[in-house]
Amino acid sequence: MILDTFRLDGRVAVVTGAGRGIGAATALALAEAGADVAISARTSAQLDEVAGKIHALGRRAITVPADLSDLSAVTALAETAAAELGRIDIVVNNVGGTMPNTFLTTTPEFLEEAFRFNVSTAHVLTRAAVPHMLKNDGGSVVNISSMMGRSPGRGFLAYGTAKAALAHWTRLAAADLSPRIRVNAIAVGSVLTSALEVVAQQPEMKKQMEDATPLHRLGEPWEIAAAIVYLSSRAGGYITGKVLEVDGGIVAPNLDLPIPDL
């Protein structure tokens, strides 16, 4: 009985940044739970591979190759998903990220770009999806934030600020959209995706990160995906406006960037 509350049969999800890593794992997890999925990323070949795996699970998938830093493309994604799959019930705002940068080389333009890519994309997609969600039983929005949104570390001023903004946007949007649409976020720790590929290939650096993580290992994309299924399903139906920390227990950055004092 309890496992049935995790099912997403008859639901439609939209997942951004779904060509690889957390986004791809999430799209597959949602499909395995019964949802049809609209997936978007820049690279068509990656999307096609993920869509093939979704089809193998017996679910529908549509691919929408797009540069989601273009906010008009974000709006179009919601409309395409609703038109081709008939509804929208779940939005996973996974696209985002920003390269590390020093304080003096973090220009206002760099900071604003980080905000746009991490926060504005989530706002625009959610705003476009809400009318479709309200046509049915409401829905669930899950945003991918980061532990860097709550913990200071050198080199992450733009990234951490943007992710902190996304976390509070989650709380504010949850208040605006209650009770029919729930909005939550996940503060992700160090997860073995392509973004950490360089680290994973350097044993000493990887060990440093593992040793600084209470669970003494890095996370796997499916572990984030599992949390997203929970927050998207009836199992998480009494949760809104919260930031779930899926980070191995870290309370401070587990990798120090070699940025010297000014």
> How many Cβ atoms sit within 10 Å of the Cβ of residue 103?
11
In whole angstroms, what is the distance from residue 237 CA to residue 131 CA? 20
Q: According to the model, what pLDDT value does residue 25 have?
A: 97
Q: Across the beta sheet with 36-41, what order do the strands follow?
A: 61-65, 36-41, 12-16, 90-93, 139-146, 181-188, 243-246
Tell me the H-state helices in 33-70.
Answer: 44-56
Q: Find the largest Cα–Cα distance for the chain.
A: 59
What global pTM score does this model have? 0.95
In whole angstroms, what is the distance from residue 253 CA to residue 169 CA? 23
Q: According to the model, what pLDDT value does residue 256 have?
A: 80
Say which DSSP state 199 is in: H
CA angle centred on 118, ends 226 and 84, rounded to 5°: 65
The answer to whether residue 67 sits within a structural domain is yes
The answer to whether residue 107 sits within a structural domain is yes
Question: Length of the chain in residues, anyone?
Answer: 262
Q: According to the model, what pLDDT value does residue 200 have?
A: 73
Q: According to the model, what pLDDT value does residue 258 have?
A: 84
The answer to whether residue 131 sits within a structural domain is yes
Q: According to the model, what pLDDT value does residue 257 have?
A: 84
Q: According to the model, what pLDDT value does residue 194 have?
A: 74
Which tens digit of pLDDT belongs to each residue from 58-79? 999 999 999 999 999 999 999 9
Q: According to the model, what pLDDT value does residue 20 have?
A: 94
The answer to whether residue 261 sits within a structural domain is no
Q: According to the model, what pLDDT value does residue 202 have?
A: 81
Q: Residue 51 sits in which domain range?
A: 2-246
Residue 119 CA neighbour count, 13 Å, CB half: 23
Alpha-carbon distances, residue 232 vs 26, 59, 114, 115, 178 (angstroms): 11, 17, 26, 25, 15
Domain tally, the chain: 1
Q: According to the model, what pLDDT value does residue 192 have?
A: 84
Tokens 């000493």 locate to 204
Residue 238 three-state SS: coil
Say which DSSP state 119 is in: I
The answer to whether residue 95 sits within a structural domain is yes
Amino acid at 226: A
Residue 210 contacts by C-beta under 8 Å, 6 or more apart in sequence? 216, 217, 218, 254
Catalytic residues: 159
The answer to whether residue 254 sits within a structural domain is no
For the chain, list residues with pLDDT below 50: none
The answer to whether residue 21 sits within a structural domain is yes
The CATH number of the domain holding residue 149 is 3.40.50.720
The answer to whether residue 258 sits within a structural domain is no
Return the sign of the alpha-carbon dihedral for residues 219, 221, 226, 230.
positive
